[in-house]
């Protein structure tokens, strides 16, 4: 077994509490589109725990190779082949899915990419589906913790287009494509899981 796979400690720490909430949302069969698969740790953990789902991993063309070794090693029957997805592109290579999951992406993407993500998901999400977005978020421009404030400064020093997003701004994007913020779960380490649905 390969042990030197790309690894995220944050994924390892948060996968159990996220799964607990996703079980409540992804309660029936269907395909889950994961936007930003990263190391593949979430994909493997969630697909193994919820065999009633088909898990569709995707990532930016520059990053899609990172998860492939872990996904190949796991060889789970309900994980589909990785798709390269640039959320800012007007054409998405995926059309049908019931659910969407994305973790720690909105603060990495440029704002126009976040807008495109909501636009494309809103266009395709069925009435009985949901979009689950995990990460740190601000409320009315205020940081929820000093650690999130420091994280935001770190992000903006890396690239000016990055930064922790505001809940109200994300809700406005959702409403523009016919979605509402149906649930807002507090998660460990000052993160939240937002659930958008029709």
Which of the four pLDDT bands, split at 50, 70 and 90, describes residue 3? low
What percent of the chain has a predicted confidence (pLDDT) above 70? Answer: 98
pTM: 0.97
Mean pLDDT of 112-121: 97
Q: Where are the domains of the chain?
A: 9-197
- Give me the pLDDT at residue 4, please: 86
- Give me the pLDDT at residue 139, please: 93
Mean pLDDT of 79-97: 95
Which residue do the tokens 């990055």 mark?
162
What percent of the chain has a predicted confidence (pLDDT) above 90? Answer: 97
Residue 120 has pLDDT above 60, yes or no: yes
Residue 1 has pLDDT above 60, yes or no: no
Fold classification of 9-197 is Rossmann fold (3.40.50)
| Sheet containing 30-35, strands listed edge to edge, beginning at the edge strand earlier in sequence | 83-84, 53-59, 30-35, 99-103, 130-135, 191-197, 180-187
Q: Of 95, 137, 53, which is closest to residue 42 (Cα–Cα)?
A: 53
Kindly report, residue by residue over 132-171, the tens digit of the pLDDT: 999 999 999 999 999 999 999 999 999 999 999 999 999 9
């Amino acid at each position: 077994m390969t042990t030197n796979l790309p690894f995220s400690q944050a994924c390892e720490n948060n996968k159990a509490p996220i799964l607990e909430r996703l079980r409540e949302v992804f309660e029936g069969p269907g395909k889950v589109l994961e936007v930003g698969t990263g190391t593949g740790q979430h994909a493997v953990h969630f697909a193994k725990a919820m065999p009633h789902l088909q898990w569709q991993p995707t990532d930016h063309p520059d990053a899609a190779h990172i998860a492939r070794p872990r996904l190949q090693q796991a060889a789970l029957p309900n994980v589909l082949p990785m798709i390269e997805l640039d959320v800012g592109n007007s054409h998405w290579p995926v059309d049908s899915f019931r659910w969407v999951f994305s973790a720690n992406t909105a603060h990495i993407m440029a704002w126009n990419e976040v807008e495109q993500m909501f636009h494309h998901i809103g266009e395709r999400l069925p009435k009985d589906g949901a979009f689950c977005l995990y990460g740190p978020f601000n409320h009315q421009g205020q940081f929820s913790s000093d650690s999130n404030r420091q994280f935001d400064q770190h992000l903006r020093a890396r690239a000016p287009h990055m930064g922790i997003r505001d809940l109200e701004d994300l809700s406005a994007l959702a409403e523009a494509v016919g979605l509402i913020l149906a649930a807002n779960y507090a998660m460990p380490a000052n993160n939240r899981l937002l659930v958008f649905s029709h």
